[in-house]
Structure 1
């Protein structure tokens, strides 16, 4: 049993069966978060306090970042079709799996994001005075994820 904390730089991400492993090389993943909001209910005639009850969980969007490569990848094609369709065709959802890996490349923890679909694509700013990679950001909404 390993008692050291897991490192955050060794992870893998995979998409539905259509996408190849070449589409899965990301340098950053963020947005793995769920919040359980509360609602306050006041009982009639009781002015000392309010009851707090759980609401519906809310999930942040999953943001994936990688160096921009001009290729005809299935992942980018899925984003292009979804973001440019203007509701002329149905949105295709996929299951996204994120795995935190140990030093041998074995999964320590897995998260499965259900019904994921593209909501935003962006590329980093261009600046002739800096020597940086162009970073592509892909943002996905999803219904829920397994902890």
Structure 2
């Protein structure tokens, strides 16, 4: 019987379903993906005459914002999409696929993000005394995600 080893977190790819963005393009080469989590919110109801406890009922799941980080690009179509939403209030939601890959580049797990749109963009501070790459961060809100395991 083969020994199981958990997958590594550094071998992944991101695909953004937007026109003009090729999936093998530099636009989708991110160094970090965060915010892949969901939480079930609980609402409490107190019943008259019952003082020992409150009824705890589930509400729909809440999803954290998706956070994508990469080295800053100039003339980026993805950043133009982001600024159109933030500056011009021109929203064009996009589906995003994040795939965790094995050592042979085969999919292990896939997260399908539905109808994402930008809510925040930022870069690291510019510092003359440091020799560092400028990192830009995109924060995206979305409706929901699904996860599927491939192996």
What TM-score do the two structures reach when normalised by structure 1?
0.92
Distance 1:146 1:32 in 2: 10
1:17, CA displacement in angstroms?
A: 4.5
- Measured on the aligned residues, the alpha-carbon RMSD in Å equals 1.4
Distance in 2 of aligned mates of 1:2 and 1:67: 36
The 1:143/1:2 distance shift into structure 2, 3 A limit, reads farther
Q: Provide, for residues 59-114 of structure 1, a one-character-per-residue CA deviation record: whole Å limited to 9, x for no partner.
A: 111111001121x33212211211110x3x4x110000001110011110000110
User: For 2:140 and 2:83, how far apart are their aligned partners in 1?
Assistant: 13
Whether 1:36 aligns to 2:51 is: no
* Structure 2 partner of 1:79: 82
Offset, 1:13 = 0.4
**Paired position in structure 1 for 2:109:** 109
Gaps in structure 1 of 5+ consecutive residues: none
The alignment of Structure 1 onto Structure 2 pairs a total of residues equal to: 143
Query: Using the alignment, how far apart are the partners of 1:2 and 1:98 within structure 2?
Result: 26
TM-score (norm 2): 0.89
- Determine the C-alpha separation between the residues in 2 that align with 1:51 and 1:137: 41
Point out 4+ residue stretches in structure 1 off by more than 4 angstroms.
none
Q: How far apart are the structure 2 equivalents of 1:49 and 1:69?
A: 55
Name the counterpart of 1:133.
133
Judging by fraction of residues, say which structure has more strand: 2
CA distance in structure 1 between the aligned counterparts of 2:11 and 2:138, rounded to whole angstroms: 19
Tell me, yes or no, if structure 1 residue 10 matches structure 2 residue 11.
yes
Gaps of 5+ in 2: none
